[in-house]
Structure formats: structure tokens, C-alpha cells
Amino acid sequence: MTATLFLTSDEVSGLATPAEYVEAVREGYRQRGEGAPAEPRTKLFNREPPGMLTSYAAVLPETGAMGGYMYSAGFGAEDAWFMTPLFDAESGEPLALLDGASMNPFKTGAAGGVAVDALAREDASTLALIGSGAQARGQLRAVATVRDLDTVWVYSPTKESRESFAGELDRTLDASVAAVASSAAAVEGADIVVTATTATDPVFDGDLLEPGTHVTAMGQYHPEKRELDETTIERATYVPDLRERATMDAGSFLAAVEAGVVDEDHIHAELGEVVAGVAAGREDDEEITVFDSGGTGIETVAAAHMLYEKARDEGLGTTVDFSPASESLTGE
């Protein structure tokens, strides 16, 4: 038997700061850039009741951990459950099982924060945020750890939601955070643009982007999800989380390829390659850059292992026993 730590969502919530998430995820992407294995998500769809079962995984040898996500969304309950198994990358033994719900916006936001640090101008201080849900909050809090933000303009379609979100984050962050009435008002003149939506149509006009802007799009996880228009993809140095995912389910990139404005050679590099210094990031202050984030096991394993170590140090969680195959596969 192997004692494995189980951590609830409540135990994980608030266990780490946004900066700690960013630090852990940056290290994970560095390892990926130097060859650590990671695969895009797999998705299984059910017609009735409608739902999706999805998973993705990564091995981070230097962290000493491997694992990923398996989660269900939709089905009869019309909700989602995130399970995060974590294994020792040397012995293969299970280390922990986390309820990944509360960490989700922070680990995804951390990937966006790593990308902003790698690709945005050093002096970037104004941010346009399109979206006002939990993922938008995670993205904003992560970016605020890597850039000294002065002003954040928030747009989402529901006036009450964007104003409530802006009011909350204005009190939380040092930056001035305010709601605006359109995506165009948010994007125009912004140094950084972050989209955190489930949109199937582009959420802003790529012609509005000023030279030197960085864009992080985190709702690009299905061929029909299109936060960015073809103009944005065409104008930008395009960096996905995983190269293979860009040609599988990155909706905006696939739409730009289908329209004939770019081809697969437009993929500049994976984020990990930029973080590791294997590929160049931003090369001048006029360059427009895009990070296409669809979710990977890289940020999941990196964040989960960081939380596991903090929980163990603080005596959190309960243990469950797993039987090794050598003991349980008796053939009887």
C-alpha cells in the first residue's frame, strides 16, 4: 500500500499566492521548453445527456512530478468536476489526488502571467480584460505579479457583472480597475489584452491593436471557440502553449488557416521554448504578440505539486491507500 494525500478544494483554496502559482508554472514551462513530455487534451463527447469528459497530462522531471487533469463537464448535473492526480516522476508512485476546482483559475491565470512576462513589453502598464468571471480574475491577478499595472479596463456583455468585477479588483489591486461599455473601448491603446471568455465569435477587432501590444487568449480550447479574429492572428507573432494543440483545437488559429491568411509556419514557438530561451520572444517594441492558451498538463502538474508541498508542510489533507499492481494483480 502507498499512502497518498487527498486535498479538498477548500484546503487548496488560498494555500498559495498568485505569484507562487506563476513561479511554479514558469518553471514547468521551462522544463517543457527543454523537452519535458506533454500532450494536448483529449475530449470525449456524450450526446445524451450532453457532456464532455476530458484529460491532459505532463511529466516535469526536474520538479519530480507528473500527472494532469481529468474532468467532466455538463451531463445530467450540468456542472464540472476537476480531479488532479499527481505522481512521483522517479518512482511512479501516487503522491496526491487534488480536487482541482479552486486552483483552476489560478493555474490557468499563471500560464497567462508567464506568457505576459515572456512576451509583453517591459513597460506595459495598461491592460484590457475581456471577461469578468473566475478565469478573468485569475488572469488579472497573475498578470499583476509580473507587470506594474496602472490601469485595467474591463468589458463583459453584462453591465452589472463587469461593474461588480471592476469594483472588487479595484479594491484588491494597486492598479485602477474600471468597467467600460465595449470591447473596443477596453482594447484601444492597451499594452496588454487578455480575453477570458467562452466566445464562438471574435471579441474585438484586431485592427484596434496598437503596435507593441501583447494578447493572451485563454478561451481557445475548441475549434469553434474564437476569441481572436483573423486580423489579430495574422498581425501577431503567434505562440501557443503546445504546438500540437494549435492545429487541433485552437479555434482562432484554425479559422485563420482556413481563411488563408496564415499557415502552420506562422506558429513561432511554444511558450516553453520562449521561457527556456530556445526560441526568441519579443524582439522589438513594435511587435504584436499572441499567447494562445487552451489548457495543458504543464501548468496543472506544476501548480498541483507546489500545492502538494505546501499542504504537506502545513499538515493539510487526509491520506488514502493505493495498492501497487504487484500486490493486487494476482490473476485470480
CATH of the domain at 280: 3.40.50.720
What is the residue-wise DSSP string for 11-66?
HHTTSS-HHHHHHHHHHHHHHHHTT--EEEEEEEEETTTTEEEEEEEEEETTTTEE
150: closest CA among 179, 106, 190?
190
As a residue count, the chain comes to: 332
Check which CATH number belongs to the domain holding 59 and give it. Answer: 3.30.1780.10
Same domain, 96 and 228: no
The CB-side HSE value for 220 (13 A sphere, CA atoms) comes to: 33
Query: What amino acid is encoded at 199 in this protein?
Result: A
User: What is the model's pLDDT at position 224?
Assistant: 85
pLDDT score at 332: 53
Non-local CB neighbours of 186 within 8 Å, separated by 6+ positions = 128, 129, 130, 153, 154, 155, 180, 193, 204
DSSP 123: T
Based on the fold, state whether residues 133 and 264 are members of the same structural domain. Answer: yes
In this prediction, residue 290 carries a pLDDT of 98
Contact assessment for residue 33 and residue 276, using Cβ atoms and an 8 Å cutoff: yes
Sheet with strand 176-179: strands edge to edge: 176-179, 151-155, 126-130, 192-195, 214-217, 289-292, 237-240
Does residue 5 contact residue 88 with C-beta atoms inside 8 Å? no
Q: Which pLDDT does position 331 carry in this prediction?
A: 54
Q: pLDDT tens for the chain, 332 residues: list them.
A: 889 999 999 999 999 999 999 999 999 999 999 999 999 999 999 999 999 999 999 999 999 999 999 999 999 999 999 999 999 999 999 999 999 999 999 999 999 999 999 999 999 999 999 999 999 999 999 999 999 999 999 999 999 999 999 999 999 999 999 999 999 999 999 999 999 998 999 999 999 999 999 999 997 778 888 999 999 999 999 999 999 999 999 999 999 999 999 999 999 999 999 999 999 999 999 999 999 999 999 999 999 999 999 999 999 999 999 998 888 776 55
Distance in angstroms (rounded) separating the CA atoms of residues 57 and 38: 6
Q: How far apart are the first and last CA of the chain?
A: 19
Domain tally, the chain? 2
Statement to judge: residues 313 and 196 lie in one domain: no
Contacts of 262 (CB under 8 A, 6+ apart): 233, 234, 238, 253, 256
Answer yes or no: do 62 and 128 share one domain: no
**C-alpha Rg value of the chain to the nearest Å:** 20
Is the residue at 261 inside a domain? Answer: yes
Instruction: Verify that 318 and 243 share a domain, yes or no.
Output: no
Q: Which domain holds residue 52?
A: 2-104+297-328
Regarding whether 207 and 67 lie in a shared domain, the answer is no
CA distance linking residue 54 with residue 43, whole number of Å: 4
Q: Long-range pairs for 323-331 at CB < 8 Å and ≥24 separation? A: 323/1, 323/2, 324/1, 324/2, 324/93, 327/1
Domain match, 50 and 142 both: no
173 domain residue, yes or no: yes
My answer on whether 127 and 100 are in the same domain is no
**CB distance 54 to 63 below 8 Å:** no
Read off the C-alpha cell for 27.
518553471
Does some domain include residue 252? Answer: yes
Q: What pTM value is reported for the model?
A: 0.95
Q: Are strands 176-179 and 151-155 parallel, antiparallel or unpaired?
A: parallel
Residue 321, in any domain of the structure: yes
